[in-house]
Amino acid sequence: MKLRMFQIDAFAERQFEGNPAAICPLETWLDDTLLQAIAAENNLSETAYFVPAGDAFELRWFTPVEEVDLCGHATLASAHVLYTHLAYTKPEVRFLTRSGPLTVTRGDQGLRMDFPAAQPVMTESPEALLEGLGKAPEEVLAAFDYIAVYDTEEEIQALTPDFAKLQTLGLRGVVVTAPGKDVDFVSRCFFPKFQVNEDPVTGSAHCELAPYWQMRLGRRELQARQLSNRGGSIGCEIKGDRVLLSGKAVDFMVAEIQIDLDQ
């Protein structure tokens, strides 16, 4: 069996920037064990699969170790594949996911995703979080990740986490954030539970970061930068209980997977 696969740099304006995702368009769903094995073989933070479903597409995301409920950069990359490689021409793509319907629209500034917002709440700082980050934040909040807030961009850049300690925490991962110099806020994202110690650019984290920074800065439209080695830029806009995330995507590889079903 042969499958098409596209490797896309998402939230990027050029190759080798942003977050790489593998995208496999399917006609029908394959066995989950095979989907997970392909994701493990790719060893990227996310491999996404989609199948046609009427006027929409069912979309699923897999890390190297398990399926996840929400992934921003692989959603952006999936829409890019549809528009760039699969002759999709409608102004909006609708994806059906474990996090509900998600839409992506195409515009002059790239692709814009409509995601559910998550409002972080203040929480106690677990000892493993403080030990894992190595420097105490000014405050700690929680949504689907722990969010550690620092005063400066330099503090974010200087962190050298102990991923073994962060892996013991109960939530999905740890996001650190601070005001930015050239953007409204910056962040880094750590997900050692999923064999992704530091994610290059994390769209889903901005579903919780944007509401926090809107509350703090008093603006609905925000510009963000994730300070990984690759780096990436995300436009954020709060609309009620939704977050609109904007970014661009760039092709890196077009490939064909050959699966031996007799193994």
Residue 263 — very low, low, confident or very high, per pLDDT cuts 50/70/90?
Answer: low
At residue 245, φ and ψ (nearest 5 deg) are -110, 130
Just list the catalytic residues: 46
DSSP 8-state code for residue 78 = H
* Structural domain boundaries in the chain: 2-112+247-258, 121-240
Residue 262 reports pLDDT greater than 80: no
- The hierarchical CATH code for the domain 2-112+247-258 is 3.10.310.10
Tokens of 12: 């990027």
**Percent of the chain predicted with pLDDT > 70:** 99
> Exposed (0-12), middle (13-18) or buried (19+): which is 133, by Cβ within 10 Å?
buried
Residue 227 reports pLDDT greater than 90: yes
What are the Cα distances from residue 226, in Å, to 102, 148, 185, 188, 233? 22, 14, 9, 6, 7
pLDDT (tens digit per residue) in 166-181: 999 999 999 999 999 9
Q: Residues 112-131: what's their mean pLDDT?
A: 95
Residue type, 191: F
- What pLDDT is stored for residue 108 in this prediction? 73
At residue 10, φ and ψ (nearest 5 deg) are -100, 150
Within this chain, domains 2-112+247-258 and 121-240 share the same CATH topology: yes
- What pLDDT is stored for residue 195 in this prediction? 86
Which residue has tokens 């996404």? Answer: 48
Q: Residues 132-161: what's their mean pLDDT?
A: 97
129 close to 146: Cβ distance less than 8 angstroms: yes
**Percent of the chain predicted with pLDDT > 90:** 93
pLDDT (tens digit per residue) in 184-200: 999 999 999 988 899 99
Residue 101 reports pLDDT greater than 80: yes
CATH superfamily of 121-240: Diaminopimelate Epimerase; Chain A, domain 1 (3.10.310.10)
Residue 246 reports pLDDT greater than 90: yes
- What pLDDT is stored for residue 38 in this prediction? 97
- What pLDDT is stored for residue 260 in this prediction? 84
Residue 109 — very low, low, confident or very high, per pLDDT cuts 50/70/90?
Answer: confident
Residue 261 reports pLDDT greater than 80: no
